[in-house]
Structure 1
Amino acid sequence: MAQSIFSLSNRSSNQFWLYSLAGGLYTVGAGYLISKLGGAGAVLAILAPLLLGLLILVFLEPRFGLFLYLQLCFIVGFARFVHVSVPAGLLVDGVLALTLFSLFLNGQRMEWSRLRSPAFLLVAIWFLYTVIELFNPEAPYRPAWFFHVRAFSLHWFLVACMVLVAPITRKDVRIFVNSWLIWSFLAALWSFKQQYIGLSPDELAWLYSGNNAKTHLLFGQLRAFSFYSDAAQFGAEMAGATLVALIRVFEEKKVHYKVAYALLTLVFFWGYAVSGTRSALFVLLAGFPFYLILKRDFTKLIIGVAFAVPLFLLLMYTSVGSSNYQVQRMRSALTPMNDPSFILRLQNQAKLRTYLQDLPFGAGIGTSTDMGARFSPWHWAAQIPPDSWYVELWIETGRVGVALYILMLTGLAGVGVYQVWRLKDPWMIKVMYGFLAEFFGIAVMGYSNPVLGQFPTNSVVFISTILIATSYRWDTKPETSDSEIDQPLPAPLHYEAI
């Protein structure tokens, strides 16, 4: 007994000295950071223990890294409002790299056989093509490839590995959905603050830097951008969230859920409206009919068209509501040939066609937009704005690349439709309906804006497309309760099945 008490006392003493040493080292380190960096050092000293804890959690559970990646992709938008230089993109890269390392570290628990998924094959082929583009002889500055390939394919490839291999449960899918909707709701509220209360000093500083004021202040009206990269990105996210919430209104059976999602639909739609992003309207115009096709409910599709056509005619051929700026912006989206900016886009594409007619593999990844302006501003690819995700792909990867990319998107949508039509579980069906319709709408909008290459839209698309393609993992009988379906089901579908 005495020996046991002595052993316990000795262990407590060792722990006391260990904690004292750690606390002393932390205090010294915090003091050093504050003395050298001032306020920034104090912030780093506070965040260091939190970051260490997150790092340990990622190593212990790869799924945690995946959801940390999702949250971080929303948080990076705040980087512009912080007076400390934050390498937001590198933080995201670091989280993905650590999560990939964690997959191998916990390899025995991972489901590596799921990499035989058709969706992974499509993403892997596109990723391989972009790797080959590193050796494109037309590239004026080859190291720029490392900056643009992340948004083009690398992140999608890594996320596909993680979603497929990690033992994701039904509860994890619910967390993903709720995280996205909560962030979207907060973004909408922040945009209302910008529109009706005003911008903070940091937001004003961003607005009047570069060309931001030219694109976000039109005729004295602010295009709200919330905490996203720009108003176009924010508008696309709000339109996608509107679509998903609207689908849930139709799919939910209980009245209080219908009312809650109807209110969210109104909030998200007004968030889209104050963004002034005309092209985001096509997320709704393409996504909702696609949802009705998914349901194979052609009666409702015909009814929807019957209601939509008069509305379109009202916007296109009358001036009703023109006194409202948001309504007028929507109207201009349906009459593009009366829009000088759209005509300029067509003229730019005509110039690009001349340059690219003898370049089937493009000018090389990293030659256009911001990377082109940074590393090869003298090159023609950096001097003509693409104003479109697909045009950007056309410039950098050529007609071969953009065709391959569109085939990948079409293939992912096809695999998704096949899987969703096989689902039996009502909750999983309505979630995947929303994801698939939003993916289709965002893909259509990609013709007008490069939202598929920006945080957080691309992160949501990267995760949701693989969730859709492997939704059979969480399918259950309709009568099964949530408490009985926390674990993923075995994968019944590989290449041979389609």
Structure 2
Amino acid sequence: MSSNLRSNQFWLFTLLGGIYTIAVGYFVSKLGVPGAVLTIVAPIALGLVILVFMEPRWGLFLYVQLSYIIGFTRFLLVQLPVGLLIDGLLFLTLFSLFLNGQRMEWTRLRTGAFALIAIWFLYTVIELINPEAPYRPAWFFHVRPFSLHWIIVACAVLVIPLTRRDVRIFVNTWLIWSFMAALWGFKQQYIGLSPAEVVWLNSGFNARTHMLFGQLRCFSFYSDAAQFGGEMAGVTLVALIRVFEEKTLPKKIAYTALTLVYFWGYAISGTRSALFVMVGGFAFYLLLKRDVLKLVIGMVLSVPLFLLLMYTSVGSSNYQVQRMRSAMTPMNDPSFILRLQNQAKLKAYLADLPFGAGIGTSTDMGARFSPWHWASQIPPDSWYVELWIETGRVGVALYIAMLVGLAGIGVYRVWQLKDPWMIKVMYAFLAEFVGMAIMGYSNPVLGQFPTSSIVFISTMLVASCNRWDTRPALSGPVNEERLLVKPKPYGAI
């Protein structure tokens, strides 16, 4: 019987191999190099689709990877629609949740955090019928970073029975990708740009925003220097918090090294507003700690640094230091003054539009679908200003209320934790989220990959962190991975 089964398998695999070989020859002869790429990618994609169908958590892991890989499209001869691939992956993951519904923890959707995101999503759906929208189909493009991706990711993170190991994988993936991004930025700064990067720099307005006074603002493999700087500032904050939270010297040394690498990655990006990710996020971390002594020490150490940047010229010969210094004196910066002037113009346009001009009317989608409209002709230069243009003062107020609510829920959850490892991870997540929310005033990083993906996942991990909480042992050294079994009540089976 077994010999017949092996024989049948042999003929089946032989048949499939022959069909695949014929298909490879056909696509290569018809499409050339793209056909060869297609025949290699298609089986891998099919295998990944099957994995997501079988286990939806694979959808989340792949979502994070694609959020970083999307930056490499500038190196490809053939532009792949990675953004649409991410959309498809998220909907595939959502379908897999229902397909594996019996194993999912649907009751976790009854949380305040998910309710906040659902209300915001519902508002953006209602925006579809905004009568002020000059081209309503553009809604489908901008609703994705606004709310659609967030509600799908929130649903997946909450209902999938994730483990502590999954959380650890997410954290390590984030740090590893960020480390590689920093190294790529160092390559751009100290070795030079690749031909594909030179082509990108010379297209559109990229040279104007990334070459200032003969100095390159490094962008690594991210969409632009602002995104790179924001991400580097965020992981600098995360690594620095781990330096304070780790108990063993080797781990402190390792995270100190990572902090220095990430910080210099932020410095070479020339993104001034990213400084406030670290400043605001670290201040929030000290408040989370509820340690008055550390809060006072942090203020004592930071105030002289700010005074040094604001009122002296120490280090001005270094371009990166000078860029940081200019962030402390925005009224001396022509670009900041121009932003204020643009916001004054927008205030006049939006005075009678409480619900905005409609989602998809500003930035790239506005320039593509309604270039004649005023909303597409004034650059927002800010995530909140972009929301203000497209969803009005009602929308931006609702969005900010959602962020504040998520931060408040996160603080409550983190303060209830007992597990040492989970506490330090959630401290870092929450502080980084607050820092990124502050940076959103000056840059649209909250709506760009990979920052948006990290924020969407981390906020839901923080909001549901109590499901991984375990009390440390009462005696002996603390083992972060030890799970203590709670005693059953008397008479329990």
TM over 0.5: yes
Match of 1:127 among 118, 121, 124: 121
Instruction: Tell me, in whole angstroms, the C-alpha distance in 1 between the residues paired with 2:207 and 2:291.
Output: 45
Instruction: Tell me, in whole angstroms, the C-alpha distance in 2 between the residues paired with 1:485 and 1:432.
Output: 18
Q: Where do residues 209-358 of structure 1 align in structure 2 (5 Å cutoff)?
A: 209-358=203-352
Q: Which residue of 1 aligns with 2:432?
A: 438
- Structure 1 residues 311, 76: CA separation in 2 closer, same or farther (over 3 Å shift)? same
Amino acid at match of 2:217: R
Instruction: Tell me, in whole angstroms, the C-alpha distance in 1 between the residues paired with 2:280 and 2:439.
Output: 9
What is the CA distance between 1:486 and its match in structure 2? 11
What is the CA distance between 1:261 and its match in structure 2? 0.1
Say whether residues 1:371 and 2:365 are aligned partners: yes
Counterpart contact for 1:248–1:434, Cα < 8 Å: yes
Counterpart contact for 2:421–2:480, Cα < 8 Å: no
Instruction: Tell me, in whole angstroms, the C-alpha distance in 1 between the residues paired with 2:481 and 2:396.
Output: 44
Say whether residues 1:151 and 2:145 are aligned partners: yes
Instruction: Tell me, in whole angstroms, the C-alpha distance in 2 between the residues paired with 1:94 and 1:32.
Output: 27
Counterpart contact for 1:171–1:486, Cα < 8 Å: no
Counterpart contact for 1:280–1:445, Cα < 8 Å: yes
Instruction: Tell me, in whole angstroms, the C-alpha distance in 2 between the residues paired with 1:441 and 1:408.
Output: 15
Counterpart contact for 2:470–2:484, Cα < 8 Å: no
The CA deviation string for residues 235-284 of structure 1, in whole angstroms up to 9 with x for no partner, is: 00000000000000000000000000000000000000000000000001
The CA deviation string for residues 286-340 of structure 1, in whole angstroms up to 9 with x for no partner, is: 0001000000012111111111111111111111111000000000000000000
Counterpart contact for 1:236–1:442, Cα < 8 Å: yes
Instruction: Tell me, in whole angstroms, the C-alpha distance in 2 between the residues paired with 1:260 and 1:345.
Output: 40
Q: Where do residues 84-103 of structure 1 align in structure 2 (5 Å cutoff)?
A: 84-103=78-97
Match of 2:458 among 454, 459, 464: 464
Instruction: Tell me, in whole angstroms, the C-alpha distance in 1 between the residues paired with 2:431 and 2:292.
Output: 16
Instruction: Tell me, in whole angstroms, the C-alpha distance in 1 between the residues paired with 2:248 and 2:351.
Output: 56
Counterpart contact for 2:228–2:269, Cα < 8 Å: yes
Q: Which residue of 1 aligns with 2:182?
A: 188
Say whether residues 1:18 and 2:12 are aligned partners: yes
Match of 2:394 among 387, 393, 400: 400
Instruction: Tell me, in whole angstroms, the C-alpha distance in 2 between the residues paired with 1:66 and 1:36.
Output: 35
Amino acid at match of 2:390: E
Matched positions, count: 481
Q: Which residue of 1 aligns with 2:51?
A: 57
Instruction: Tell me, in whole angstroms, the C-alpha distance in 2 between the residues paired with 1:463 and 1:198.
Output: 34
What is the CA distance between 1:481 and its match in structure 2? 4.6
Instruction: Tell me, in whole angstroms, the C-alpha distance in 1 between the residues paired with 2:178 and 2:430.
Output: 18
Q: Which residue of 2 aligns with 1:8?
A: 2
Secondary structure of the corresponding residue to residue 443 of structure 2 = coil
Q: TM-score, normalised by structure 2?
A: 0.96
Q: Which residue of 1 aligns with 2:172?
A: 178
Amino acid at match of 1:177: V
Q: Which residue of 2 aligns with 1:203?
A: 197
Instruction: Tell me, in whole angstroms, the C-alpha distance in 1 between the residues paired with 2:346 and 2:309.
Output: 32
Amino acid at match of 2:372: W
Instruction: Tell me, in whole angstroms, the C-alpha distance in 2 between the residues paired with 1:484 and 1:283.
Output: 34
Q: Which residue of 2 aligns with 1:413?
A: 407
Match of 1:476 among 458, 470, 473: 470
Q: 179-188 vs 51-60, which deviates more?
A: 51-60
What is the CA distance between 1:36 and its match in structure 2? 1.7
Point out where structure 1 has 5 or more consecutive residues left out of the alignment.
1-6, 488-498
The CA deviation string for residues 94-121 of structure 1, in whole angstroms up to 9 with x for no partner, is: 1101101110110100001111011000
Counterpart contact for 1:70–1:460, Cα < 8 Å: yes
The CA deviation string for residues 66-99 of structure 1, in whole angstroms up to 9 with x for no partner, is: 1110111011100111111200110100110110
The CA deviation string for residues 469-498 of structure 1, in whole angstroms up to 9 with x for no partner, is: 0000100011375555499xxxxxxxxxxx
Secondary structure of the corresponding residue to residue 205 of structure 1 = helix
Counterpart contact for 1:348–1:386, Cα < 8 Å: yes
Q: Which residue of 2 aligns with 1:386?
A: 380
Counterpart contact for 1:126–1:405, Cα < 8 Å: yes
- Structure 1 residues 447, 483: CA separation in 2 closer, same or farther (over 3 Å shift)? closer
Instruction: Tell me, in whole angstroms, the C-alpha distance in 2 between the residues paired with 1:485 and 1:467.
Output: 19
What is the CA distance between 1:30 and its match in structure 2? 1.1
Instruction: Tell me, in whole angstroms, the C-alpha distance in 2 between the residues paired with 1:360 and 1:67.
Output: 39
Q: Which residue of 2 aligns with 1:41?
A: 35
Amino acid at match of 1:51: A
Amino acid at match of 1:363: A
Amino acid at match of 2:394: V
Say whether residues 1:115 and 2:109 are aligned partners: yes
* CA RMSD, 1 decimal: 1.1
The CA deviation string for residues 445-488 of structure 1, in whole angstroms up to 9 with x for no partner, is: 0000000000000000000000000000100011375555499x
Q: Which residue of 1 aligns with 2:489?
A: none
Counterpart contact for 1:170–1:485, Cα < 8 Å: no
Match of 2:421 among 403, 427, 431: 427
Instruction: Tell me, in whole angstroms, the C-alpha distance in 1 between the residues paired with 2:204 and 2:172.
Output: 35
Instruction: Tell me, in whole angstroms, the C-alpha distance in 1 between the residues paired with 2:264 and 2:29.
Output: 47
Say whether residues 1:81 and 2:59 are aligned partners: no
Q: Which residue of 1 aligns with 2:488?
A: none
Instruction: Tell me, in whole angstroms, the C-alpha distance in 2 between the residues paired with 1:8 and 1:463.
Output: 47
Q: TM-score, normalised by structure 1?
A: 0.95
What is the CA distance between 1:214 and its match in structure 2? 0.2
Instruction: Tell me, in whole angstroms, the C-alpha distance in 2 between the residues paired with 1:223 and 1:8.
Output: 64
Counterpart contact for 1:235–1:275, Cα < 8 Å: yes
Point out where structure 2 has 5 or more consecutive residues left out of the alignment.
486-493
The CA deviation string for residues 120-165 of structure 1, in whole angstroms up to 9 with x for no partner, is: 0000000000000000000000000000000000000000000001
Counterpart contact for 2:471–2:484, Cα < 8 Å: no
Q: Where do residues 441-456 of structure 1 align in structure 2 (5 Å cutoff)?
A: 441-456=435-450
Counterpart contact for 1:170–1:486, Cα < 8 Å: no
Instruction: Tell me, in whole angstroms, the C-alpha distance in 2 between the residues paired with 1:261 and 1:472.
Output: 25
